[in-house]
Structure 1
Amino acid sequence: MSNSSTNSGEQPAPWYENWTEGPDSPWRHRPDPDFEREYSTLTYERDGRIARITFNRPDKGNAITPHTPRDLAHAVERADLDPRVHVIVVSGRGKGFCGGYDLDMFAEQGFAGADGPDEVTGTVLDPVVNAVNHNPQGTWDPMIDFAMMSRFTKGFASLMHANKPTVAKLHGFAIAGGTDIALHADQIICADDTKIGYPPTRVWGIPAAGMWAHRLGDQRAKRLLFTGDCISGKQAAEWGLAVESWPAEELDERTEALVERIARMPVNQLMMAKLALNSALNTQGVANSAMVSTVFDGISRHTREGYAFQTRAATAGFREAVRERDDPYGDHKRAQFER
C-alpha cells in the first residue's frame, strides 16, 4: 500500500505516471534539478519526458572537437539524473548528424589546431602534446595516443552506458567519427538517404568505438570496413543497423512517434529493460572491442601510409587528401562532409 498518500486521503499515482508525477512521488515537494550549463558543441533541452541533445556546429558538419565527448557525456548524465526524463534523443543541427572528427584541426594542422578545454593543458589531452606525438619525424608513444583517443570513446559510450534509453536520429550524413557516436545509441532512426560509413579505414583510421560487429554482425561489418564504403539509411535499416528508416521529410514526425511511445513507459521499466539487454552486449565484449579498436586506430595513423596521408593533408589540405584517397573508389564527390 502507499504510505503518505493513503494517510492524507489522496490516491496513489496511476502506474503510468512519471517518478516525479502524482501525490506519492518520492520527489514530492523537492525542487526541480538545476543543471544549467552552456556547451560549445551542442545544445540541451528537456521537453516533458524527453531530453534532446543536438550537435550544434552546423557550419562544420557538426565535426568532433576535443569538447564534443565531454559535452556529450555531461549532457547524457544530466538527462540520466533528471527523474523527469524517460528517453534521450541525440541529433544534429544543419545538413547532417555528424561528419566525424574535425580534420581542419586533427589532420591538416597536425592536432595543434585542436582548441581543447583549458583544463586539458599539460595533460595527455593537450593538443600540443598530441601534435608532437603525431610528428612523422618524431617518436610515437602509443599510450599517449590511447589515453587521448579513449577519452573520446568513453564520452560517446555514455549513450550506451546511460541507464535510460537513447535514440540517435540521423539525417544527411553520419560518417567516420560520427558513427562512433551513433552506434552507441540504443536505437538508430534515420532518413532513407542518410550516408553512413567509415571511409577512413582506407587510410588513417580504425573505428575506435569498436561497435560495428556488435551492431551489424561479422560479415556485414567487414564488408564496410574492408572497403570504406558507405550505405544509405534505407540499407542500414534493411541490415539491422537502424531500427527504422523513413523519407527525409517524414523523419522528424516518425522520430517523435517513436520517442513518445518510449516515453509513455514507466522510467524504471525502461531502465530495467535496457540494463538487462545491455548485459548481452557486455557479454559480447564491447569493452574489449573498444580497447583493441582504439589501439589499432592509433597504429593506423602511424603507418607509412598514415604518415603519408597526414603529410599530404598538412600540405595540400585534408579535402584534397581525402579526394586522392577516395578517387580509386569513385565516391570522393560524396565524401565532402567526411572528416
Structure 2
Amino acid sequence: MGFSEILYEKDGPVLTISLNRPEQLNAWTRVMEREVHEAMTEATKDDSVRAIILTGAGRGFCAGADMNLLGGLQDEAEKAKSRIQTVMPVNNSIPGGLQLSRDYGMRYTYFPTVPKPILGAINGPCAGLGMVMALYCDMRFASDSAVFTTAFSRRGLIAEHGISWMLPALVGHANALDLLMSARKVRADEAKEMGLVGRIIETEKFMDECRAYAEELATMVSPRSMRVMKAQVYTALHQNLESAILTANSEMPGSFESDDFREGVAHFVEKRAPAFSGT
C-alpha cells in the first residue's frame, strides 16, 4: 500500500505501523489520521496479520497535533467546529471488525474494533493527541526514554476525544485529574506505577522486545480466542458483572466447537508448537 505519513511493514504475522514524520516528532495531521485508519482496515482484512504494533519513527511516538493544524483551528472557530465534526465519519469503526457499541465507532475510538491485538510501542515523547491514540491501544509498552503529557490544559484546550473516560479507566480518578489538569510531563517509571503502561524496556532493546511479544501473540495464541476476548473486555467496560458472565456463557459453546480449541488441546498433548487457524 502507498502511504506518505506512516510506514506499513509486515514481518511474518506481525505488522508494524509507524507514524512517519520523525523531524516533527510524528506530529499528527489529517493525512496521518486517514492513513492510520486505512492501515488498520487493511490489517483487519489480512488474515496473515495476527498482531499489530503501533509506534513512531525516529526518537518519538507522537508529539500531538501538528501546530499548523491547531493554528488553523484557532483562526476560524466556527469552521473549526464543523471540521472537528466532519473530518472523519461518525461511524469510524473498522469495516469487518468487531461489532461493539457506538462508543468504539467515534473519530479516534475505533482501535478496539480491530479484531487483533494492538500494542502501543511508546518509544519517546507521547503528548496530546498522541496520548489519546496510545490509550486506545490494547496494551502499551514504553522505552525508558518515553515521556508522557496530556498537554491539553497548557494549550487552553479540554480533555479531548474520550480521554476523560479512558484515562481514569486505566490510572484511576485522582491520577487522571492530575495528568489532565497539570499536563505535567511523566516519565516511563511513573507511567508504569500508575498503570498507564505495562512494561518499561531499555531503549536499545525496545523494538526487539516489542516485536518478540507481538510474535508470541501471533504464533502461540489462538487468534479466535484473542478476537473474542478483546470484544468481551471492551464490552464489559459498559456491563455489570452479571452481564459479563452471561456474555462469557454465550461464547463458551462456540469455543468448545472451534478448530482452535481442538488445536489448543492437540499441541499441548503432543508437546509441539501450535498451528492455530483462527477458526
TM-score past 0.5 threshold? yes
How many aligned positions are there? Answer: 222
Note if contact 1:70-1:155 (Cα within 8 Å) is conserved in structure 2: no
1:199-252 Cα distance to aligned partner (Å, 9 max, x none)? 221333223222211221211100111211121122111211111112212212
Task: Report whether the alignment pairs 1:206 with 2:149.
Answer: no
Q: Is the 8 A contact 1:45 1:53 kept in 2?
A: yes
Structure 1 stretches lacking a partner, 5+ long: 1-36, 112-129, 135-139, 285-339
Aligned to 2:54: 90
Shift in alpha-carbon separation, 1:203–1:131, aligned structure 2, 3 A: closer
1:287 maps to which residue?
none
Query: Which amino acid is 2:108 matched to?
Result: F
Helix, strand or coil for the counterpart of 1:226?
A: helix
Show structure 2 runs of 5+ residues with no match.
93-104, 241-279
TM-score by structure 1 length?
0.61
Question: Paired residue for 1:144?
Answer: 82
Instruction: Confirm or deny: 8 A CA contact 2:55 2:121 kept in the other structure.
Output: yes
- How far off its partner does 1:259 sit? 0.9
Q: C-alpha deviations, 1:60-82, integer Å up to 9, x for none? A: 11111111221111101111111
User: Contact between 2:14 and 2:211, CA under 8 Å: does it hold in 1?
Assistant: no
State the match for 2:200 in structure 1.
245
Cα distance change, pair 203–45 in 1 and its aligned pair in 2 (3 A): closer
The residue aligned with 2:186 is 231
Structure 1 match to 2:64:
100
Equivalent residue in structure 2 for 1:273, among 229, 232, 246: 229
In structure 2, what is the equivalent of residue 159 of structure 1?
111
Counterpart in 1 of 2:27?
Answer: 63
- The residue that corresponds to 2:122 in the other structure is 170
Q: Contact conserved, 1:72 with 1:156, CA < 8 A, in 2?
A: no
Structure 1 moving runs of 4+ over 3 Å: 140-143, 148-156
Bigger Rg, structure 1 or 2: 1
Find the partner of 1:54 among 6, 18, 22. 18
Counterpart residue number, 1:43: 7
How far is 1:43 from its partner?
1.2
Cα RMSD for the two superposed structures: 2.3
Partner residue of 2:149 out of 197, 211, 218: 197
- Identity of matched residues, %: 24
- 2:26 is the alignment partner of 1:74: no
Contact 2:5 2:20 in 1 (8 A): yes
**SS of alignment partner, residue 168 of structure 1:** strand
Cα distance per residue 1:270-298 (max 9 Å; x no partner): 101111111123449xxxxxxxxxxxxxx
Does 2:223 correspond to 1:259?
Answer: no
Give, in whole Å, the separation in 2 of the partners of 1:238 and 1:88.
25
Secondary structure at 2:126 match in 1 = strand
TM-score (norm 2): 0.73
* CA distance in 2 between partners of 1:83 and 1:149 (Å): 29
Paired AA for residue 241 in structure 1: L
Counterpart of 1:67 in 2: which secondary structure?
helix
Answering whether residue 133 of structure 2 is matched by residue 181 of structure 1, we say yes
**Counterpart Cα distance in 2 of 1:282 and 1:39:** 36
